[in-house]
């Protein structure tokens, strides 16, 4: 039966579930050719929300929504067009199927970790004029209405567009964002009919585009429009609005068709409906998403990171400055340090070792161009996982296209398999992906703190963008020059906004100047058991200001954040959310340009009143009053300083030979360590290497006592020359206990294998590298700005399987150990420049001594052979310089660059 087929497809969603499906009441199909032309679907309790689906005489579908009998959304068009069928008109009902959907699930992030959702769902089956079939699935819960289309055709299905539209009263208040793929435009308060007057705008004639989520208020009811359950089988969408009209129509990304392998279930067109408290607490977008595809989530850990880019833009390229941020995170119990654009592969492993020994994990920023292909992701993820990096921040996607969502699918699978957490920056908004892929810690999709400050924007976001999923706003930069809000406002932002990873924007010195804030941030979770709207809204109060006060619970403690936009006012927070008993309430507010903390005892019957300065705010922390509890703060337990020494630190071994070494782990002072293990990380050794020697363990390691181990490695017989780092690792239970991960202390023994035979330069580690555009590439051309995005090295039509791809001016340095006698390569400008570009090539020995050089070589010319005598050279430098006309198109290839070394 068509109803059964479509219903099963609808419940499956766009992403195949890997866990048990939602439970549902028995279905109740109707007979074919039902004469009714209007059908209703009510929320499970039949208490407030009703969706009315109507079919007019022309066979066109419209959906309306009422709340408590009052209209919220007027009848809006539904329908779908494919390359073969027009399913927007001439429709007739042939079947319907009803069920109650109940779902319980657990999140790793979000406003509520344990979820329970119940909805009433009806699948309507229609036939078009040409006999084609269309399913419309309408789901109503106590916090909103959603619908999607399903097509049970086999084989590929190409959707050319939707007739979907939400009809909003033209005089409804509106808080909308002109559409941009970055989602970084400002939001504007306007009306639904006049929204096109907002600037800047993405408009074509009298039609303008708006991004999700879009908020409207009519008759005291709020409606937040968005979409849910989007993946690479479809594209994202946005809303188009004709000037002065009431319809907000769904437009596919880039107005481009999408092709699904079929059968097809489209994303959910979603309206979160109710009072502001309902919207803030809504989990509807996640409820509509497919279940988690990650069975074991024990490696996923929300937390706070100190992030240097905002306050110290150049610091991600400075190892010593990054150590300062690691030290700050360690001292204040922050879980992570995020190293943004500018980091160097040459020192990141050292930084990771430094951080992990202090109980801090490292997150690395990536340009998505470096992770665009499967080969790029495989190479980078294997490398950074071996370094000990636990997660990535990926930037600059800026697209809602189907191909970009297919890339999201791929990187989400890859990070889940590698046990790497991920934050999407420069990204689209979340559409439920944190339920399906719980390693997603946050998503930008917002005009955040890095784009300047706007207190009104801050309030708007509490009732729009942050409702639909974690928001990477990068808040809390106290020392910002010309700051546009108060200290307390800045401190409140990471409470008001939910983000699985919260990236704090100030530097260690800026935080140290605000000790009251430091103490609060040390306590702040980033995932919550419960979230409540306490007071406020996006509109102006009678006093002319805007306010938002949210309370979030973690365990038995409530964290409260309040922000204000406008003139100073008293911010009021009814404390009914606290529940029974007496509570200790610690409040932080602005006082004479500083932060001041006050403490009082309250009950749920009380109302907190905080005088706020212009564009100010406050934070609070509440905990039950119990015997022996002095305050609400919990101790910050940090990893102690330890020492791990290897003996020797470096050793030489021939291919097939052996090298022995020892290691000693010591706690100089402090309480004894528990469950200590000293070992060699065998999983990170090259193929063919073996280790003998046992792990050393201690149930307890008191201060001053040494834990010592001895091992011997056997080098693989086919191991090429060079240096291999053998990781020696000591781990122990974190003194904080609970779910804190084990502390990882690591040093490396450098095993030097003498260079021998014929070697390719692209297989050797670089002592240093620089490049005029993007990274130096191994065994491929320079390509574009991303890593590993080049093509086969090709000069004058000849392809070289091995070599280096450089963009002049570019340079690499290689350690020859004084064991090689000859360097040779075929050099020239890669054919990918289409005959453009000009380069000179130079080979340098120790002390920058020239050994060989070329004249100016130009694009389209044949390769030139370049050879050099490198006898006795320890540091070989290969340099490509521009030919005097700038670096554009100067893609310099070192084809078959190889070395002849001692046997």
Nearest Cα to Cα of residue 505 among 477, 464, 526 = 477
Q: Which of 98, 395, 498, 815 is catalytic?
A: 395
Average the pLDDT over 199-223 and give the result.
Answer: 93
Is residue 14 predicted with pLDDT exceeding 50?
no
Confidence of residue 5 (pLDDT cuts 50, 70, 90): low
Average the pLDDT over 99-127 and give the result.
Answer: 97
Helix (H) or strand (E) holding 490: helix 487-496
Lowest-confidence pick of 47-51, 188-192, 584-588, 791-795? 47-51
Which residues of the chain form CATH 2.60.40.10?
A: 643-753
Contacts of 682 by beta carbon, 8 Å cutoff, 6+ apart: 691
Q: Which of 240, 312, 450, 777 is catalytic?
A: 450
SS (H, E, C) 32-85: CCCCCCEEEEECCCCCCEEEEEEECCCCCEEEEEEECCEEEEEEEEECEEECCC
Residue with tokens 């330069």: 761
- The per-residue pLDDT for 9 is 55
Query: For the stretch 678-697, what's the b/e string if a residue is b when 16 or more beta carbons lie within 10 angstroms of its beta carbon?
Result: bbbbeebbeeebeeeeeebe
Q: Are strands 188-191 and 207-210 parallel, antiparallel or unpaired?
A: unpaired
Is residue 20 predicted with pLDDT exceeding 50?
no
Q: How far is CA 130 from CA 91, 149, 154, 187, 502, in A?
A: 9, 18, 17, 44, 53
Helix, strand, or coil (residue 209): strand
Average the pLDDT over 63-85 and give the result.
Answer: 97
Confidence of residue 23 (pLDDT cuts 50, 70, 90): very low
- The per-residue pLDDT for 520 is 98
Tokens of 903: 């046997």
Domain covering 2-287 in this structure, CATH number: 2.70.98.10
**Tally of CB atoms within 10 A around 41:** 23
pLDDT in tens, 128-175: 999 999 999 999 999 999 999 999 888 899 999 999 999 999 999 999
Is residue 294 predicted with pLDDT exceeding 50?
yes
SS3 content of the chain, % helix, strand, coil (to 5): 15, 40, 40
Report the chain's mean pLDDT, rounded to a whole number: 94
Contacts of 222 by beta carbon, 8 Å cutoff, 6+ apart: 215, 216, 273, 274, 275, 276, 278, 279, 463
Tokens of 686: 């090259």
654 tagged catalytic: no
**Tally of CB atoms within 10 A around 163:** 19
Which residues of the chain form CATH 2.60.120.1060?
A: 757-901
- The per-residue pLDDT for 36 is 64
Kindly list the strands in the beta sheet with 583-591, ordered across the sheet, starting from the edge strand earlier in the chain. Answer: 530-537, 546-554, 557-565, 617-624, 583-591, 594-602
DSSP letters along 362-400, please? EEEEEEGGGGSSHHHHHHHHHHHHHHT--EEEEE-----
Is residue 311 predicted with pLDDT exceeding 90?
yes
pTM, to two decimals: 0.93
- The per-residue pLDDT for 15 is 34
pLDDT in tens, 607-660: 999 999 999 999 999 999 998 888 999 999 999 999 999 999 999 999 999 999
- The per-residue pLDDT for 548 is 98
Which residues of the chain form CATH 2.70.98.10?
A: 2-287
450 tagged catalytic: yes
- The per-residue pLDDT for 30 is 41
Helix, strand, or coil (residue 140): strand
Report d(CA 305, CA 389) in Å as an integer: 14
Superfamily in which the 757-901 domain is placed by CATH:
NPCBM/NEW2 domain (2.60.120.1060)
pLDDT in tens, 313-340: 999 999 999 999 999 999 999 999 999 9
Of the chain, the percentage scoring pLDDT greater than 70 comes to 96
DSSP 8-state symbol, 815: E
- The per-residue pLDDT for 447 is 97
Fold of 643-753: Immunoglobulin-like (2.60.40)
Beta strand spans in 253-335 (E): 258-260, 264-265, 268-274, 303-307
pLDDT in tens, 238-260: 999 999 999 999 999 999 999 99
Helix, strand, or coil (residue 477): coil
Tokens of 466: 């942050």
Is residue 369 predicted with pLDDT exceeding 70?
yes
Q: Residue 785 burial (CB < 10 Å; 0-12/13-18/19+)? A: middle
Is residue 691 predicted with pLDDT exceeding 90?
yes
Average the pLDDT over 658-675 and give the result.
Answer: 97
Tokens of 325: 């941020």
């Amino acid at each position: 039966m068509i109803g059964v087929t479509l219903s099963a497809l609808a419940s499956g969603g766009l992403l195949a579930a890997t866990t048990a499906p939602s439970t549902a009441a028995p279905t109740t199909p109707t007979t074919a050719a039902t004469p009714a032309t209007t059908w209703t679907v009510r929320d499970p309790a039949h208490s407030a929300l009703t969706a009315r689906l109507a079919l007019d005489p022309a066979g066109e579908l419209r959906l309306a929504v009422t709340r408590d009998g009052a209209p919220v959304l007027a009848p809006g068009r539904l329908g779908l067009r494919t390359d073969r069928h027009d399913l927007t008109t001439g429709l007739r009902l042939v079947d319907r199927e009803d069920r109650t959907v109940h779902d319980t699930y657990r999140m790793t992030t979000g406003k509520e970790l344990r979820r329970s959702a119940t909805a009433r769902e009806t699948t309507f089956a229609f036939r078009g004029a040409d006999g084609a079939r269309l399913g419309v699935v309408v789901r109503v819960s106590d916090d909103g209405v959603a619908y999607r289309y399903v097509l049970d055709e086999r084989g590929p299905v190409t959707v050319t567009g939707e007739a979907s539209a939400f009809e909003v009263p033209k005089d409804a208040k509106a808080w909308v964002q002109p559409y941009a793929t970055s989602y970084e435009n400002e939001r504007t308060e306007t009306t639904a009919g006049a929204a096109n007057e907002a600037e800047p705008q993405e408009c074509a004639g009298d039609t303008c585009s708006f991004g999700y989520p879009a908020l409207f208020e009519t008759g005291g009811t709020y409606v937040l429009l968005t979409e849910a359950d989007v993946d690479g089988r479809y594209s994202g969408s946005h809303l188009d609005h004709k000037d002065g009209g009431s319809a907000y129509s769904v437009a596919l990304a880039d107005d481009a068709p999408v092709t699904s392998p079929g059968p097809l279930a489209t994303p959910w067109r979603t309206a979160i409906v109710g009072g502001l408290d309902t919207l803030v607490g809504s989990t509807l977008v996640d409820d509509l998403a497919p279940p988690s595809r990650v069975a074991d989530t024990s490696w996923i850990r929300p937390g706070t990171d100190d992030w240097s880019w905002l306050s110290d833009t150049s610091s991600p390229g400075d190892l010593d400055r990054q150590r300062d941020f690691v030290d700050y995170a360690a001292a204040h119990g922050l879980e992570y340090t995020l190293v943004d654009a500018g980091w160097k592969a040459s020192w990141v492993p050292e930084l990771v070792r430094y951080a992990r020994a202090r109980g801090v994990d490292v997150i690395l920023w990536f340009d998505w161009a470096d992770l665009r292909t499967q080969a790029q992701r495989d190479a980078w993820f294997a490398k950074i996982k071996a370094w000990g990096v636990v997660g990535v921040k990926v930037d600059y996607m800026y697209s809602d296209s189907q191909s970009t969502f297919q890339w999201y699918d791929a990187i989400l699978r890859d990070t889940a398999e590698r046990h790497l957490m991920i934050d999407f920056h420069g990204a689209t908004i979340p559409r439920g992906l944190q339920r399906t892929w719980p390693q997603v810690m946050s998503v930008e999709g917002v005009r955040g703190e890095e784009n300047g400050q706007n207190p009104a924007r801050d309030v708007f976001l509490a009732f729009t963008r942050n409702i639909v999923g974690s928001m990477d706003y990068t808040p809390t930069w106290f020392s910002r020059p010309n700051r546009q809000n108060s200290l307390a406002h800045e401190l409140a932002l990471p409470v008001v906004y939910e983000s699985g990873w919260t990236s704090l924007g100030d530097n260690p010195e800026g935080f140290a100047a605000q000790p009251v804030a430091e103490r609060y941030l040390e306590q702040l979770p980033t995932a919550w058991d419960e979230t409540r709207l306490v007071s406020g809204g996006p509109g102006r109060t009678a006093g002319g200001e805007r306010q938002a006060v949210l309370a979030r619970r973690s365990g038995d403690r409530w964290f409260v954040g309040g922000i204000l936009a406008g003139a100073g006012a008293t911010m009021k927070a009814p404390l009914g959310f606290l529940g029974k008993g007496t509570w200790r309430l610690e409040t932080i507010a602005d006082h004479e340009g500083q932060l001041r903390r006050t403490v009082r005892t309250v009950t749920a019957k009380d109302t907190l009143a905080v005088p706020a300065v212009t564009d100010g705010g406050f934070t609070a922390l509440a905990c039950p009053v119990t015997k022996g509890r002095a305050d609400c703060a919990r101790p910050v337990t940090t990893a102690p300083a330890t020492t791990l020494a290897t003996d020797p630190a470096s050793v030489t071994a021939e291919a097939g030979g052996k090298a022995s070494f020892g290691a000693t782990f010591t706690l100089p002072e402090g309480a004894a360590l528990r469950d200590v293990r000293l070992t060699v990380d065998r999983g990170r050794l090259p193929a063919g290497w073996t280790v003998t020697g046992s792990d050393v363990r201690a149930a307890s390691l008191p201060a001053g006592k040494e834990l010592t181990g001895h091992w011997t490695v056997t080098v693989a017989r086919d191991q090429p020359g060079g240096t291999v780092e053998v990781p020696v690792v000591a781990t122990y239970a974190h003194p904080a206990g609970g779910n804190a991960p084990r502390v990882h202390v690591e040093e490396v023994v450098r095993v030097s294998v003498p260079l021998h035979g014929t070697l390719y330069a692209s297989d050797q580690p670089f002592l240093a590298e620089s490049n005029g555009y993007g990274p130096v590439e191994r065994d491929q051309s320079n390509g574009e700005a991303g890593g590993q995005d080049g093509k086969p090295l090709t000069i004058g039509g000849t392809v070289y399987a091995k070599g280096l791809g450089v963009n002049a001016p570019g340079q690499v340095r290689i350690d020859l150990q004084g064991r090689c006698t000859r360097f040779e390569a075929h050099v020239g400008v890669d054919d990918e420049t289409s005959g453009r570009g000009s380069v000179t090539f130079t080979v340098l020995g120790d002390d920058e001594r020239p050994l060989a050089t070329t004249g100016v070589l130009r694009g389209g010319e044949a390769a030139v052979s370049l050879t050099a005598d490198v006898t006795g050279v320890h540091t070989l430098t290969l340099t490509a310089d521009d030919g005097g006309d700038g670096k554009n198109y100067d893609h310099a290839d070192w084809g078959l660059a190889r070395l002849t070394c001692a046997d």
